[in-house]
Structure 1
């Protein structure tokens, strides 16, 4: 089992748990995810971070930016400045047996969560 947490975020991976081996959380929320859901979330957040890095040098210090991205069943938003930004995600429950969720991490929890996500996933 791998567990990481900090102020305003939580991330755990435990492959001994059938069905929902991942847990993500924010200040007042947490949810367990399947491996496929987690792969989708990880891909979405890494791409949002990549897009932010591509344009952050063009932003003035106090200038704000909002990036939105939809991939598979996930929607995500990176919102803030070049140095301080938060993340919002939505798992769009489509279909009879699908579930949905909404979660968010404000700055600086968003940056810490994303760094931990990369570590745990690799």
Structure 2
């Protein structure tokens, strides 16, 4: 099984080991961006790092306080914004072709979970 796409309400995440250049895919209900393997790896790594940072910040916030946190690599930039228990995620590709993506607070928990198991068969 070389190709797989995981999806849920408001998100899609894909992997195609047989693709020549763009092996990864991220998207929402009505948009998608193909990613190189390096970009997909950075996306998954940075998304986990961002979720961990938001979790740590949550311990220092009052209940009604919102959080905004950014992480980036040479290839892409991610931003979490909202409440620690419900935040949106924004993506920008920084090299090669330019693209942006956005996931709502409702889509982010399942998307983050899928990033942890995408390439596990």
Q: When the two structures are superposed, what TM-score results if normalisation uses the length of structure 1? A: 0.88
Moved runs in structure 1, 4+ residues, more than 3 A? Answer: none
Partner of 2:104 in structure 1? 106
Alignment partners' CA distance in 2, 1:121 and 1:72: 22
Aligned partner (choices 2, 10, 22) of residue 20 of structure 1: 22
Partner of 2:90 in structure 1? 88
1:54-85 CA-partner distances (Å, limit 9, x unpaired) = 11122222210100122222111100102110
Partner of 1:47 in structure 2? 49
Alignment partners' CA distance in 2, 1:73 and 1:22: 14
Residue 3 of structure 1, CA deviation: 1.8
Alignment partners' CA distance in 2, 1:15 and 1:39: 13
- Report the aligned-residue RMSD: 1.4
SS in 2 for 1:58: coil
- Judge conservation of contact 1:24–1:30 (CA < 8 Å) in 2: yes
Matched, 1:69 2:71: yes
Name the count of aligned residue pairs: 118
Q: When the two structures are superposed, what TM-score results if normalisation uses the length of structure 2? A: 0.89
Unpaired segments ≥5 residues, structure 1: none
- Judge conservation of contact 2:46–2:71 (CA < 8 Å) in 1: yes
SS in 1 for 2:118: helix
